[in-house]
Amino acid sequence: MTCYLLREGVIDDIKSQARSYWWSGKQNTRGWAMVAWDKICRSKKFGGMGFRDLSLFNVALLGNQIWRLIQDEHSLVFKVLKAKYFLRSSFFEAKLGARYSYAWASLMKAKEVLNDGFF
């Protein structure tokens, strides 16, 4: 989750497994849901159980990678990404391009989500 944007299908599968285990105590067994899942995912401060929204958590972890990139321009990963994807511009002006890795596409999507004020 730190390096790649998880697809919705993967996130849905993880949530399904977590719900199944939480409500029944066993994997792949349906239990009786006594509370809506979105209420369980609320912060404990607001009456929930504090379970994380995996989509938001994934974007937050990718945002952390973006922060590391812009804070340490001397790191090897920054130098490699700059040479491959944004040689003549800054990270914030970088585009997806034609030939890209899934990790770069994930960073670009997280940058887009964070720029749009997702939070």
For 19-31, write each residue's pLDDT tens digit: 887 777 666 666 6
Structural domain containing residue 11: 1-119
Q: Could you read off the pLDDT of 29-78 as tens digits, one per residue?
A: 666 667 787 888 888 899 888 888 888 899 999 999 999 999 999 999 99
**How crowded is residue 58: how many other Cβ atoms within 10 Å of its Cβ?**
21
Structure tokens at 20: 């199944």
The three-state secondary structure class of 57 is: helix
55 vs 69: CA distance, rounded Å: 21
Confidence band (pLDDT; 50, 70, 90) for 4?
Answer: very high
**The model scores a pTM over 0.75:** yes
The residue-averaged pLDDT of 68-91 equals: 93
**Domain total of the chain:** 1
Spatial CA neighbour of 33 closest among 12, 15, 13, 47? 15
**How crowded is residue 54: how many other Cβ atoms within 10 Å of its Cβ?**
18
